Protein backbone atom coordinates (compact mmCIF):
# COMPACT_ATOMS: atom_id res chain seq x y z
CA UNK A 1 0.00 0.00 0.00
CA UNK A 2 1.30 3.47 -0.85
CA UNK A 3 2.31 5.46 2.24
CA UNK A 4 -0.40 7.96 3.12
CA UNK A 5 -0.91 10.60 5.75
CA UNK A 6 -4.03 10.70 7.89
CA UNK A 7 -5.17 14.31 7.92
CA UNK A 8 -7.00 14.72 11.20
CA UNK A 9 -7.69 18.41 10.79
CA UNK A 10 -6.82 21.20 8.41
CA UNK A 11 -3.75 23.20 9.33
CA UNK A 12 -3.40 26.96 9.09
CA UNK A 13 -3.24 28.33 5.53
CA UNK A 14 0.33 28.27 4.20
CA UNK A 15 2.34 31.44 3.71
CA UNK A 16 4.99 29.93 1.42
CA UNK A 17 5.17 26.64 -0.51
CA UNK A 18 8.20 25.44 -2.47
CA UNK A 19 7.61 22.84 -5.18
CA UNK A 20 10.53 20.66 -6.33
CA UNK A 21 10.36 19.78 -10.02
CA UNK A 22 12.45 18.44 -12.85
CA UNK A 23 13.37 21.09 -15.41
CA UNK A 24 12.04 19.43 -18.55
CA UNK A 25 9.30 21.39 -20.30
CA UNK A 26 6.66 18.84 -19.37
CA UNK A 27 7.74 18.60 -15.74
CA UNK A 28 7.70 22.39 -15.45
CA UNK A 29 4.22 22.51 -16.98
CA UNK A 30 3.05 20.03 -14.37
CA UNK A 31 4.62 21.92 -11.50
CA UNK A 32 3.26 25.23 -12.76
CA UNK A 33 -0.19 23.65 -13.06
CA UNK A 34 -0.06 22.60 -9.40
CA UNK A 35 1.34 26.01 -8.42
CA UNK A 36 -1.59 27.74 -10.12
CA UNK A 37 -4.09 25.50 -8.35
CA UNK A 38 -2.46 26.18 -4.99
CA UNK A 39 -2.42 29.93 -5.58
CA UNK A 40 -6.14 29.80 -6.35
CA UNK A 41 -6.69 27.98 -3.05
CA UNK A 42 -4.36 30.26 -1.06
CA UNK A 43 -4.19 33.71 -2.71
CA UNK A 44 -1.96 35.13 0.03
CA UNK A 45 0.54 32.28 -0.25
CA UNK A 46 3.84 32.61 -2.14
CA UNK A 47 4.25 29.44 -4.22
CA UNK A 48 7.71 28.92 -5.73
CA UNK A 49 9.31 26.34 -8.01
CA UNK A 50 12.68 24.71 -7.31
CA UNK A 51 13.94 23.37 -10.64
CA UNK A 52 16.30 20.39 -10.49
CA UNK A 53 18.11 18.10 -12.91
CA UNK A 54 17.83 14.41 -12.03
CA UNK A 55 20.05 11.48 -12.97
CA UNK A 56 17.24 10.25 -15.18
CA UNK A 57 17.54 13.47 -17.17
CA UNK A 58 21.33 13.19 -17.38
CA UNK A 59 21.72 9.55 -18.51
CA UNK A 60 20.40 9.53 -22.07
CA UNK A 61 22.61 6.96 -23.80
CA UNK A 62 21.13 3.85 -22.15
CA UNK A 63 17.62 2.48 -21.59
CA UNK A 64 16.17 3.31 -18.17
CA UNK A 65 15.82 -0.41 -17.42
CA UNK A 66 19.62 -0.71 -17.62
CA UNK A 67 20.50 2.18 -15.30
CA UNK A 68 18.12 1.97 -12.37
CA UNK A 69 14.61 2.55 -13.66
CA UNK A 70 12.28 5.49 -13.37
CA UNK A 71 13.25 6.11 -9.76
CA UNK A 72 16.14 8.07 -11.23
CA UNK A 73 13.63 10.84 -11.97
CA UNK A 74 12.61 11.38 -8.34
CA UNK A 75 15.62 10.85 -6.06
CA UNK A 76 16.98 14.40 -6.27
CA UNK A 77 13.50 15.80 -5.69
CA UNK A 78 13.10 13.61 -2.62
CA UNK A 79 16.47 14.83 -1.33
CA UNK A 80 15.13 18.39 -1.55
CA UNK A 81 12.17 17.34 0.59
CA UNK A 82 14.43 15.71 3.16
CA UNK A 83 16.73 18.69 3.55
CA UNK A 84 13.87 21.19 3.74
CA UNK A 85 14.61 22.94 0.46
CA UNK A 86 11.12 22.04 -0.80
CA UNK A 87 7.75 21.28 0.76
CA UNK A 88 6.41 19.05 -1.99
CA UNK A 89 7.35 17.50 -5.32
CA UNK A 90 5.20 17.03 -8.41
CA UNK A 91 5.61 13.88 -10.50
CA UNK A 92 4.08 12.06 -13.40
CA UNK A 93 2.66 9.10 -11.47
CA UNK A 94 4.11 6.62 -13.95
CA UNK A 95 7.59 7.86 -12.91
CA UNK A 96 7.05 7.30 -9.17
CA UNK A 97 8.69 4.06 -7.94
CA UNK A 98 6.22 1.43 -6.83
CA UNK A 99 8.17 0.91 -3.61
CA UNK A 100 8.38 4.23 -1.78
CA UNK A 101 10.65 4.82 1.18
CA UNK A 102 8.73 5.25 4.46
CA UNK A 103 9.90 8.86 4.81
CA UNK A 104 7.74 9.86 1.85
CA UNK A 105 4.03 9.95 1.13
CA UNK A 106 1.81 10.48 -1.88
CA UNK A 107 -0.48 13.14 -0.44
CA UNK A 108 -2.60 13.85 -3.54
CA UNK A 109 -3.26 12.45 -7.01
CA UNK A 110 -4.92 14.91 -9.37
CA UNK A 111 -7.46 14.37 -12.16
CA UNK A 112 -6.16 12.29 -15.04
CA UNK A 113 -5.41 13.46 -18.57
CA UNK A 114 -5.92 10.90 -21.38
CA UNK A 115 -4.00 7.90 -19.98
CA UNK A 116 -3.37 6.11 -23.29
CA UNK A 117 -0.35 5.85 -25.58
CA UNK A 118 -0.15 7.84 -28.81
CA UNK A 119 1.41 7.19 -32.20
CA UNK A 120 3.40 10.14 -33.53
CA UNK A 121 4.58 9.97 -37.13
CA UNK A 122 5.04 12.19 -40.14
CA UNK A 123 4.62 9.24 -42.48
CA UNK A 124 2.00 6.85 -41.13
CA UNK A 125 -1.50 7.32 -39.71
CA UNK A 126 -1.52 4.02 -37.81
CA UNK A 127 0.71 1.13 -36.81
CA UNK A 128 -1.20 -1.04 -39.29
CA UNK A 129 -0.02 1.24 -42.12
CA UNK A 130 3.65 0.70 -41.35
CA UNK A 131 5.59 -1.70 -43.61
CA UNK A 132 7.93 -4.47 -42.42
CA UNK A 133 11.18 -3.06 -41.08
CA UNK A 134 9.77 0.38 -40.29
CA UNK A 135 11.48 1.81 -37.20
CA UNK A 136 9.41 2.64 -34.11
CA UNK A 137 11.06 4.41 -31.18
CA UNK A 138 10.04 3.94 -27.56
CA UNK A 139 11.67 4.24 -24.14
CA UNK A 140 9.38 1.68 -22.56
CA UNK A 141 9.77 -2.09 -22.15
CA UNK A 142 5.99 -2.20 -21.78
CA UNK A 143 5.39 -0.58 -25.15
CA UNK A 144 8.20 -2.56 -26.76
CA UNK A 145 6.74 -5.91 -25.68
CA UNK A 146 3.26 -5.02 -26.92
CA UNK A 147 4.64 -3.79 -30.25
CA UNK A 148 6.61 -7.02 -30.72
CA UNK A 149 3.53 -9.09 -29.88
CA UNK A 150 1.14 -7.29 -32.24
CA UNK A 151 3.52 -6.12 -34.96
CA UNK A 152 6.50 -8.53 -34.98
CA UNK A 153 7.61 -7.25 -38.38
CA UNK A 154 8.38 -3.72 -37.10
CA UNK A 155 11.82 -2.68 -35.84
CA UNK A 156 11.57 -1.34 -32.28
CA UNK A 157 14.47 0.90 -31.22
CA UNK A 158 15.21 2.57 -27.83
CA UNK A 159 14.36 6.29 -27.65
CA UNK A 160 15.52 8.46 -24.73
CA UNK A 161 15.39 12.16 -23.97
CA UNK A 162 12.68 14.58 -22.94
CA UNK A 163 9.58 15.00 -25.07
CA UNK A 164 11.03 17.73 -27.28
CA UNK A 165 14.19 15.69 -27.90
CA UNK A 166 12.15 12.66 -28.92
CA UNK A 167 10.07 14.69 -31.34
CA UNK A 168 13.22 16.23 -32.81
CA UNK A 169 14.74 12.78 -33.40
CA UNK A 170 11.54 11.73 -35.18
CA UNK A 171 11.53 14.88 -37.32
CA UNK A 172 15.19 14.31 -38.24
CA UNK A 173 14.23 10.96 -39.71
CA UNK A 174 15.85 8.72 -37.09
CA UNK A 175 12.50 6.93 -36.67
CA UNK A 176 9.46 6.30 -38.83
CA UNK A 177 7.22 6.68 -35.79
CA UNK A 178 7.49 7.01 -32.03
CA UNK A 179 5.14 6.05 -29.21
CA UNK A 180 4.59 8.60 -26.45
CA UNK A 181 2.10 9.16 -23.66
CA UNK A 182 -0.83 11.13 -25.07
CA UNK A 183 -1.09 13.07 -21.81
CA UNK A 184 2.27 14.80 -22.18
CA UNK A 185 1.58 15.86 -25.75
CA UNK A 186 -1.82 17.24 -24.85
CA UNK A 187 -0.55 19.09 -21.78
CA UNK A 188 2.09 20.88 -23.83
CA UNK A 189 -0.34 21.85 -26.58
CA UNK A 190 1.12 19.30 -28.98
CA UNK A 191 -2.03 17.26 -29.47
CA UNK A 192 -1.88 17.91 -33.22
CA UNK A 193 1.24 15.73 -33.37
CA UNK A 194 -0.84 12.69 -32.39
CA UNK A 195 -1.67 10.58 -35.45
CA UNK A 196 -3.57 7.98 -33.44
CA UNK A 197 -4.41 7.36 -29.80
CA UNK A 198 -3.78 3.67 -29.22
CA UNK A 199 -6.68 1.91 -27.49
CA UNK A 200 -5.90 0.05 -24.28
CA UNK A 201 -6.62 -3.21 -26.09
CA UNK A 202 -3.61 -2.52 -28.33
CA UNK A 203 -1.28 -0.76 -25.89
CA UNK A 204 -2.21 -1.10 -22.23
CA UNK A 205 -0.88 1.94 -20.33
CA UNK A 206 1.65 2.00 -17.51
CA UNK A 207 0.45 2.18 -13.92
CA UNK A 208 -0.38 5.81 -13.16
CA UNK A 209 0.01 7.06 -16.73
CA UNK A 210 -1.64 10.44 -17.31
CA UNK A 211 -2.01 11.25 -13.60
CA UNK A 212 -0.06 13.81 -11.56
CA UNK A 213 1.08 12.94 -8.05
CA UNK A 214 2.12 15.23 -5.22
CA UNK A 215 4.74 13.84 -2.84
CA UNK A 216 5.70 15.17 0.59
CA UNK A 217 7.41 13.96 3.71
CA UNK A 218 5.29 11.58 5.75
CA UNK A 219 6.18 13.76 8.73
CA UNK A 220 4.50 16.83 7.19
CA UNK A 221 0.74 16.54 7.85
CA UNK A 222 0.55 20.29 7.30
CA UNK A 223 1.59 19.83 3.65
CA UNK A 224 -0.86 16.96 3.27
CA UNK A 225 -3.65 19.21 4.53
CA UNK A 226 -2.67 22.04 2.16
CA UNK A 227 -2.86 19.87 -0.95
CA UNK A 228 -5.79 17.65 0.07
CA UNK A 229 -8.26 19.68 -2.07
CA UNK A 230 -6.21 18.77 -5.18
CA UNK A 231 -6.82 15.04 -4.72
CA UNK A 232 -9.25 13.42 -7.16
CA UNK A 233 -10.75 10.35 -5.44
CA UNK A 234 -11.70 8.49 -8.63
CA UNK A 235 -8.28 8.95 -10.22
CA UNK A 236 -6.55 8.11 -6.94
CA UNK A 237 -8.49 4.83 -6.67
CA UNK A 238 -7.56 3.85 -10.23
CA UNK A 239 -3.90 4.69 -9.76
CA UNK A 240 -3.68 2.93 -6.39
CA UNK A 241 -5.12 -0.24 -7.95
CA UNK A 242 -2.69 -0.06 -10.87
CA UNK A 243 0.31 0.53 -8.62
CA UNK A 244 -0.68 -2.39 -6.42
CA UNK A 245 -0.51 -4.69 -9.47
CA UNK A 246 2.92 -3.45 -10.43
CA UNK A 247 4.25 -3.49 -6.87
CA UNK A 248 3.06 -7.06 -6.30
CA UNK A 249 4.57 -8.41 -9.51
CA UNK A 250 7.62 -6.32 -10.30
CA UNK A 251 8.47 -4.49 -7.09
CA UNK A 252 11.18 -2.00 -7.97
CA UNK A 253 12.28 -3.92 -11.07
CA UNK A 254 11.76 -2.77 -14.65
CA UNK A 255 9.70 -5.40 -16.47
CA UNK A 256 7.25 -5.27 -19.39
CA UNK A 257 4.08 -4.71 -17.37
CA UNK A 258 0.93 -2.68 -17.90
CA UNK A 259 -1.94 -1.93 -15.52
CA UNK A 260 -4.95 0.23 -16.27
CA UNK A 261 -8.06 0.87 -14.17
CA UNK A 262 -11.26 2.70 -15.12
CA UNK A 263 -14.34 3.66 -13.13
CA UNK A 264 -17.37 1.95 -14.61
CA UNK A 265 -20.79 2.34 -12.99
CA UNK A 266 -19.24 2.96 -9.59
CA UNK A 267 -16.86 -0.01 -9.75
CA UNK A 268 -13.22 -0.33 -10.73
CA UNK A 269 -12.50 -2.23 -13.94
CA UNK A 270 -8.83 -3.24 -13.86
CA UNK A 271 -6.74 -4.81 -16.61
CA UNK A 272 -3.13 -5.91 -16.56
CA UNK A 273 -0.46 -7.83 -18.42
CA UNK A 274 3.07 -9.10 -17.98
CA UNK A 275 5.19 -10.05 -20.99
CA UNK A 276 8.63 -11.09 -22.08
CA UNK A 277 10.51 -8.18 -23.70
CA UNK A 278 10.23 -9.80 -27.15
CA UNK A 279 6.46 -10.17 -26.77
CA UNK A 280 6.47 -13.91 -27.40
CA UNK A 281 5.07 -14.69 -23.93
CA UNK A 282 2.29 -12.64 -22.39
CA UNK A 283 -0.13 -13.08 -19.50
CA UNK A 284 -3.39 -11.06 -19.46
CA UNK A 285 -6.09 -10.68 -16.81
CA UNK A 286 -8.97 -8.38 -15.92
CA UNK A 287 -11.20 -7.95 -12.87
CA UNK A 288 -13.87 -5.63 -11.49
CA UNK A 289 -14.27 -4.70 -7.86
CA UNK A 290 -14.95 -2.05 -5.27
CA UNK A 291 -13.37 1.37 -5.64
CA UNK A 292 -13.25 1.48 -1.83
CA UNK A 293 -10.45 -1.13 -1.73
CA UNK A 294 -8.33 -0.47 -4.83
CA UNK A 295 -5.14 -2.08 -3.52
CA UNK A 296 -7.03 -5.28 -2.75
CA UNK A 297 -8.29 -5.41 -6.34
CA UNK A 298 -4.76 -4.84 -7.57
CA UNK A 299 -3.47 -7.74 -5.49
CA UNK A 300 -6.25 -9.97 -6.82
CA UNK A 301 -5.33 -9.08 -10.39
CA UNK A 302 -1.64 -9.75 -9.70
CA UNK A 303 -2.55 -13.19 -8.35
CA UNK A 304 -4.65 -13.91 -11.42
CA UNK A 305 -1.80 -12.81 -13.70
CA UNK A 306 0.49 -15.24 -11.91
CA UNK A 307 -2.04 -18.00 -12.55
CA UNK A 308 -2.07 -17.01 -16.22
CA UNK A 309 1.68 -17.47 -16.53
CA UNK A 310 3.18 -14.24 -15.20
CA UNK A 311 5.18 -16.12 -12.57
CA UNK A 312 7.10 -18.04 -15.22
CA UNK A 313 7.70 -14.90 -17.29
CA UNK A 314 8.96 -12.99 -14.25
CA UNK A 315 11.19 -15.90 -13.21
CA UNK A 316 12.77 -15.91 -16.67
CA UNK A 317 13.41 -12.17 -16.31
CA UNK A 318 15.00 -12.70 -12.92
CA UNK A 319 12.36 -10.67 -11.07
3-state secondary structure the chain: CCCCCCCCCCCCCCCEEEEEEECCHHHHHHHHHHHHHHHHHCCCCEEEEEEECCHHHHCCCCCHHHHCCHHHHCHHHHHHHHCCCCCEEEEEHHHCCCCCCCCEEEEEECCCCCCCEEEECCCCCCHHHCCCCCEEEECCHHHHHHHHHHCCCCEEEECCCCHHHHHHHHHCCCCCEEEEEHHHHHHCCCHHHEEEEECCCCCCCCCCCCCEEEEEECCCHHHHHHHHHHCCHHHHHHHHHHHHHHHHHHCCCCCCEEEEEEEECCEEEEEEEEECCCCCCEEEEEEEEECCCHHHHHHHHHHHHHHHHHHHHHHHHCC
> Is the distance from CB of 141 to CB of 65 less than 8 angstroms?
yes
Question: CATH classification of 16-112+211-231, choosing from 3.40.30.10, 3.40.718.10, 3.30.420.40, 3.40.190.10?
Answer: 3.40.190.10
Instruction: Pick the catalytic residue from 87, 95, 176, 202.
Output: 95
Strand partners, 155: 135
Contact between residue 108 and residue 235 where contact means Cβ atoms under 8 Å apart: no
Q: CA–CA distance from 175 to each of 90, 118, 196, 198, 278 (Å)?
A: 31, 15, 16, 18, 19
Q: Is 171 a catalytic residue?
A: no
Domain 245-317, CATH number (from 1.10.3430.10, 3.30.230.10, 3.30.160.40, 3.30.9.10): 3.30.160.40
In the prediction, which pLDDT does 160 show? Answer: 84
Question: For residue 252, what pLDDT is reported?
Answer: 66
Q: How far, CA to CA in Å, does 273 sit from each of 7, 161, 203, 278, 319?
A: 35, 26, 10, 14, 15
pLDDT at 319: 55
According to the model, what pLDDT value does residue 177 have?
98
CATH 3.30.160.40 positions along the chain are 245-317
| pLDDT attached to residue 7 | 41
CATH 3.40.190.10 domain residues, the chain: 16-112+211-231, 117-198
8 CB burial (10 A radius; 0-12, 13-18, 19+): exposed
Per-residue pLDDT at 284? 97
* pLDDT per residue of the chain (319 residues) written in tens, 0 to 9: 444 444 434 468 999 999 999 999 999 999 999 999 999 999 999 999 999 976 544 444 444 444 444 556 788 999 999 999 999 999 999 989 998 999 999 999 999 999 999 999 999 999 999 999 999 999 899 999 999 999 999 999 999 888 999 999 999 999 999 999 999 999 999 999 999 999 999 999 999 999 999 999 999 999 999 999 999 999 999 999 999 999 999 876 789 999 999 999 989 999 999 999 999 999 999 999 999 999 999 999 999 999 999 999 999 988 5
CATH architecture observed for domain 117-198: 3-Layer(aba) Sandwich (3.40)
Sign of the alpha-carbon torsion through 98, 81, 160, 238: positive
Amino acid sequence: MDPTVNIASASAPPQRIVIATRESRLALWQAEHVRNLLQELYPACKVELLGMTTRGDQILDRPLSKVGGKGLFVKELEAALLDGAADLAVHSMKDVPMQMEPEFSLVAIGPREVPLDALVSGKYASLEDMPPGAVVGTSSLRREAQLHARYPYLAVTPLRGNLDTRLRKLDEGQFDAIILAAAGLKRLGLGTRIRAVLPAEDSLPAAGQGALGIEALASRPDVAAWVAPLNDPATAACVRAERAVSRALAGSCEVPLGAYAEMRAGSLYLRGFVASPDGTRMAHAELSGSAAAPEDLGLQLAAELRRQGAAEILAALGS
